[in-house]
A = this chain, B = another copy of it.
Amino acid sequence: MAGDPRGMAYTVGYLGPSGTHSEEVARRLYPGGFRLLPFPRIDAVIRAVESGEIAEGIVPIENSLEGSVNITLDTLAHEVSLFITGEAIWPVKHHLLVKPGTREIRTVISHVQALAQCRRYLAEHFPAAEQQAAESTALAAQMVASGMGGWAAIGSAAAAQVYGLEIAAASIQDNGHNSTRFITVGRRPAPYRPGEPAEWKTSLAFQINGERPGTLCGVLSEFASRNVNLTRIESRPARTGLGIYIFFIDVQGSLEEGPVREAFEAVRAKSLWFKELGSYPVLLKG
């Protein structure tokens, strides 16, 4: 096991089944030489990294329409001691998938969210088609692949490849702003290489004494006074009672840079509880 472990047989977990958007991102981030392993749930991916069963995991953390993926935030904050090692923005593209040779589409099947996100396209092109709900876009593709004629699935390009389907129409989603932010997680922080790639981010979670007015502002001012740019702030329940929260903050830059490191130390000193989630490169910008 010498040299860069990424150059060796290396297992990366993702949210399955095969053919999901998560798998598409995993394939892009971990090309040839990596073994990709699907897990049934997001927390199972993260726990498998913690236990050492897999080297890294890739999980969604935020969607531009649906917001935070709570199970990802809660598991990282409460259940494991891991680091975010990379970030990838993935534009969610829905395609109309059919068995090769399909002429007429009478039924369209997909996850309800995907059906909803293609509502206008379906109303215009297939107003008479019946719509069926499936548990995931990948499962819908699998059902079309194994089923009768006249069916189409809405799903990812990876699903088309995995289940031998044809893309009858590409990028049929109504809303151009649908993208998902994925993170990779590992047991060690990402090795810092300044400017390669150009953009780094750093994440933390903390709990403050929320009773006093201005406490959160006092924390945020540690970043503002050092010109460290916040890209995101999110609150989640601390699980110890209503009205008690932990905050997740993402900032631009790496802990290897003075202002970010100083701001983090100042916030740590003001917090009841503090967890560094690591500095990591932006691997894909969508």
Contact = CB atoms under 8 A, between A and B. Distances in A.
Interface of A: 62-67, 70, 89, 177, 179, 181, 210, 213-214, 216-217, 220-221, 223-225, 227-237, 239-243, 245, 286
Contact of A220 (B64, B70, B181, B220): B220
- Where chain A touches its partner, the secondary structure class is mixed
Given A242-B181, A243-B232, A237 B70 contact: no
B67 A236 contact: yes
B217 A233 contact: no
Contact of A213 (B89, B230, B236, B245): B230
Nearest to A177: B241
Contacts of A181: 242
Contacts of A179: 241-242
Contacts of A230: 210, 213, 216
A64 B221 CA distance: 28
Contact of A65 (B67, B216, B231, B239): B239
A239 B178 CA distance: 8
Contacts of A243: 231-232
Nearest to A238: B64
